[in-house]
Structure 1
Amino acid sequence: MRTILVVGGGYAGFYTAWKLEKKLRRDEARVVVVDPRPYMTYQPFLPEVLAGSVEARHAAVSQRRHLRKTTLISGSVVHVDHAHRTATIQPAEGPEFALAYDIIAVTAGAVTRQLGVPGIAESAIGMKHVEEAVAIRDRLLTNFDRASTLAPGPQREKLLTVTFVGGGFSGVEGFGELLSLATALTRLYPELSPADVRFHLVEARGRILPEVTDKPGQWVVRSLEKRGAQVHLNAQLVSATDGHVVLSDGQEFDSDLIVWTVGNAVNPMVRNHTDLPIDARGMLVVRADLRVGTDSEAIPDAWGAGDDAAVPDLAAGRPGVATVPNAQHAVRQGKLLAKNIVGSLRGREPKQYLHHSLGTVATLGLGRGIFQYKGIVIKGLPAWLMHRGYHVLAVPSWERKARVLAVWLTAAVFGRDIVSLASVQDPRRAFVTGGEPAAADHARSA
């Protein structure tokens, strides 16, 4: 029985393994997924995790619950020697070991891009994983508690200043949702006012949301500014040492919560530790049928999809254009990848990947959103409802759909839960000190 190795359990990898389980005949092949996390993160829900509109666990799809016929290895693939059909795996515990395979599907995904800005590595939080989204939310809630006990001054101002770096989709959605939560919190803290809260969005280009056209993007900027936010366009983060933010346009301010959403970088394993072909950016060279290789020559038994693969975008209508790294493509590529692998095992020719965009939809906070499909633009509450409707249908499994819907309905009646659990990041402190956690970590709910 042949072994199909799926490198990475994110969008593309999860859907590849999930569909392989359904399409493979008994004893036709075994599927092995290697990933350091035991779940797939449904990233479109991370902004709502920030705002408390979605439970953190509901944005994480358990691999063991849904991949019951797949061998799951908790660890990372650190090297691929496709010439000898061998992958080197570093498990979560224990020494490295070699795993032989017959077919490989490289869906390792991307990593957060860091630009070496002083202070970012020490003080910023990314927004690519559930843990990061929870940490951002807890930091904001805890800072409100701490600030409410302080007199007006630099320390209170720093605690109530939030900075997002990066004006792409994840940055703008996270910024809008967290701004919505902070605005709601000011009504529960009589010691604070909306004017005390400062939100900064920093973008190096002259516009945000590159996935939409200019006018909708400008409308989003105006909408955020009307809500009290400051959007810094054509500005770069120069330094963030000890939370002191310095921008290239000369502005400086202190910020206790800095969120880094600048974009993705190529997975180091794909770029540096495989004998499979990569392009100038370090991405896997993939054909339109998701086989690794060029149009003139495909590498046998090697496939790729997702954010680490330069999949040709046939819908663009011109050569040299690759699909953008987003959920729409990763999910559909994973499904087609499974179908093509099974087809190749049975002697069929693989099909090419072609997907025309369904449009772009983003949440900008509770009851606010924007949708664009070609020349059609919808703003405000209708777009926000479209965002929620689309993603509750798109999140995998009926179990997750039901859980998310239940949280939304509960929140509509009782409001969002605003309990901070920042103390879980140091769970032994109360036990070691023999007392309660520090006052700054106490939860405040309403």
Structure 2
Amino acid sequence: MRKILIVGGGYAGFYTAWKLEKKLRRGEAEVTVVDPRPYMTYQPFLPEVMAGSIEARHAAVSLRRHLHRTRVIAGMVSAIDHKHRVVTVRPADGDTFELGYDLIVVTAGAVTRKFPVPGIAEQAIGLKHVEEAVAIRDRLLTSFDRAATLPPGPQRQKLLTVTFVGGGFAGVEGFAELLSLATALLQRYPELHRDELRFHLIEASGRILPEVTERSGRWVVRFLQQRGGQVYLDTQVKSATGGHVVLSTGEEFDSELIVWTAGNAANPVVGMRTDLPVDERGFLVTRPDLRVGTDTEPAPDAWAAGDDAGIEDLTSPTPGTRTVPNAQHAVRQGKLLARNIVATLHGGKPKNYRHHSLGAIAALGIGHGIFQYRRLVITGPLAWLMHRGYHVLAVPSWERKVRVLVIWLTAALFGRDILSLASVQHPRDAFINGGEPAVPTEQDPS
């Protein structure tokens, strides 16, 4: 029986394994997925998790629950030796071990791109995983509780200041959803005032949301400003030591919550710890049919998809353009990859990946959104409903669809749940302190 190893259980990896289970004959191949997390994160839901519109667990899809005939290993692949058909796996507990395979699928995904900005590593939180979205939400709610007990002044102002770095979809949607939550929270905190909220969105380039037209991007900037947000274009964060943010424009302010969404970088395992061919950016050289290598120098029995694969976009009028690392591509590449693997096992020919965009859509807080398909632009409640409709259809499994719909309906009737559970990040405090409240300290985002 052929051994198929999938490195990474994100979008592309999960869908590859899910479809392989349906298409492979029983006993034809043994499929294994290696990922440090036992679930796939549905990242488009993270801004709503952060804003309390979706339960955190519902934005994650359990690998073991949905992959019935796939072996799931909780660990990280730290090296790939394709010449000898073996990978090195580092589990959470125990010693590292080697795992052999006949065919490998590399879908390890990208990692958050970081820059050597003083203070960012100590202060900022990313927005790629469920844990981060929950931590951001709890940090904001806790800040409101703390600020409500303080007199107006620098400490209170810092608690009510939020900074997002990065103007892509994750940053803009996260910024808009958290701003919407903070504005709604003021109804429950009569001690606080609207003009005390400070929300800053920092983008190094001259525009936000590069997936939409420049005109649509300008509309989103105006919308965020009308809602009370401050958007900085062509601006960089020079320092964030101790939560004191210094911008390249010279402006300075203190911020209790800093969220880093400044793009993706190549996975270091793919970029530096494999003998598979990689390009100058550290992404796997991948043909349009999702096989690793080039037409003249193929890497036999190696496939790739998702954010760490450099795949040419055959629908682009510009030769050499690569597919954008987003959910639409990863999901569809994973499905095609499974079909191509089965086709080659049965003596068939794999098909090239061609994807025509379904458009770009973003939620900007409850009741607000923007959708663009070519020249068609829709904004407001209709775009927001389209966003919810698309993603409830896109999230895998009926079980998850139903759970998300129920939460949305509950929120529509009773509003957002504004309970902070930041204490779960330190579960032993109550036990150690014997019921005495812990002394507030600077919170560690890690």
On whether the aligned pair clears a TM of 0.5, the verdict is yes
Q: Residue 209 of structure 1 aligns to a residue in which SS?
A: coil
Once the two structures are aligned, what percentage of the paired residues are identical? 72
Q: Distance in 2 between matches of 1:207 and 1:313?
A: 23
TM-score (norm. length: structure 1): 0.98
Alpha-carbon deviations, 1:93-139, whole Å to 9, x = none? Answer: 11111111000000000001110100000010000000000000000
Q: Is residue 26 from structure 1 mapped to residue 26 from structure 2 by the alignment? A: yes
Q: Residue 152 of structure 1 aligns to a residue in which SS?
A: coil
Corresponding residue of 2:387: 387
Q: Is the 8 A contact 1:146 1:440 kept in 2?
A: no
Corresponding residue of 2:228: 228
Q: Is the 8 A contact 1:142 1:440 kept in 2?
A: no
Q: Is residue 296 from structure 1 mapped to residue 296 from structure 2 by the alignment? A: yes
Give the 3 Å change call, closer, same or farther, for CA 155–47 of structure 1 in structure 2. Answer: same
Corresponding residue of 2:444: none
Q: Distance in 2 between matches of 1:235 and 1:191?
A: 33
Q: Is the 8 A contact 1:10 1:108 kept in 2?
A: yes
Corresponding residue of 2:367: 367
Q: Residue 315 of structure 2 aligns to a residue in which SS?
A: helix
Corresponding residue of 2:257: 257
Pairs aligned (count): 441
Q: Distance in 2 between matches of 1:433 and 1:191?
A: 29
Q: Residue 364 of structure 2 aligns to a residue in which SS?
A: strand
Q: Distance in 1 between matches of 2:78 and 2:261?
A: 25
Alpha-carbon deviations, 1:17-45, whole Å to 9, x = none? Answer: 01111111011000000000000000000
Q: Is residue 196 from structure 1 mapped to residue 196 from structure 2 by the alignment? A: yes
Alpha-carbon deviations, 1:357-403, whole Å to 9, x = none? Answer: 00000011111100000000000111000000000000000000000
Q: Distance in 2 between matches of 1:128 and 1:282?
A: 20
Q: Residue 104 of structure 1 aligns to a residue in which SS?
A: strand
Q: Distance in 1 between matches of 2:279 and 2:208?
A: 28
Q: Distance in 2 between matches of 1:425 and 1:326?
A: 30
TM-score (norm. length: structure 2): 0.98
Task: Output the amino acid matched with 1:397.
Answer: S
Q: Distance in 2 between matches of 1:250 and 1:344?
A: 58
Corresponding residue of 1:110: 110
Task: Output the amino acid matched with 1:137.
Answer: R
Corresponding residue of 1:340: 340
Q: Is residue 15 from structure 1 mapped to residue 15 from structure 2 by the alignment? A: yes
Cα displacement (A) at 1:297: 3.4
Task: Output the amino acid matched with 2:342.
Answer: V
Q: Distance in 2 between matches of 1:216 and 1:438?
A: 47
Corresponding residue of 1:425: 425
Q: Residue 317 of structure 1 aligns to a residue in which SS?
A: coil
Q: Distance in 2 between matches of 1:44 and 1:60?
A: 11
Q: Is the 8 A contact 1:370 1:380 kept in 2?
A: yes
Corresponding residue of 1:45: 45
Alpha-carbon deviations, 1:274-327, whole Å to 9, x = none? Answer: 000000001000000000011333221000000000011011033211100000
Corresponding residue of 1:396: 396
Cα displacement (A) at 1:437: 4.1
Give the 3 Å change call, closer, same or farther, for CA 185–439 of structure 1 in structure 2. Answer: farther
Cα displacement (A) at 1:438: 3.7
Task: Output the amino acid matched with 2:291.
Answer: R
Alpha-carbon deviations, 1:242-299, whole Å to 9, x = none? Answer: 0000000110000000000001010000000000000000100000000001133322
Task: Output the amino acid matched with 1:294.
Answer: T
Corresponding residue of 1:186: 186
Q: Distance in 1 between matches of 2:325 and 2:169?
A: 11
Q: Distance in 1 between matches of 2:318 and 2:203?
A: 29
Corresponding residue of 1:434: 434
Structure 2 portions without partners, runs of 5+? 442-446
> How is 1:133-148 mapped onto 2 (pairs within 5 angstroms)?
133-148=133-148
Alpha-carbon deviations, 1:192-220, whole Å to 9, x = none? Answer: 01111110000011111111001110010
Aligned-residue CA RMSD (Å): 1.0
Q: Distance in 1 between matches of 2:289 and 2:295?
A: 10
Task: Output the amino acid matched with 2:161.
Answer: T
Q: Is the 8 A contact 1:145 1:440 kept in 2?
A: no
Task: Output the amino acid matched with 2:345.
Answer: L
Cα displacement (A) at 1:350: 0.4
Task: Output the amino acid matched with 1:19.
Answer: K
Moved over 4 A (4+): none
Task: Output the amino acid matched with 2:96.
Answer: E
Corresponding residue of 2:325: 325
Q: Residue 33 of structure 1 aligns to a residue in which SS?
A: strand
Cα displacement (A) at 1:440: 6.4
Corresponding residue of 1:444: none
Q: Distance in 2 between matches of 1:322 and 1:220?
A: 26
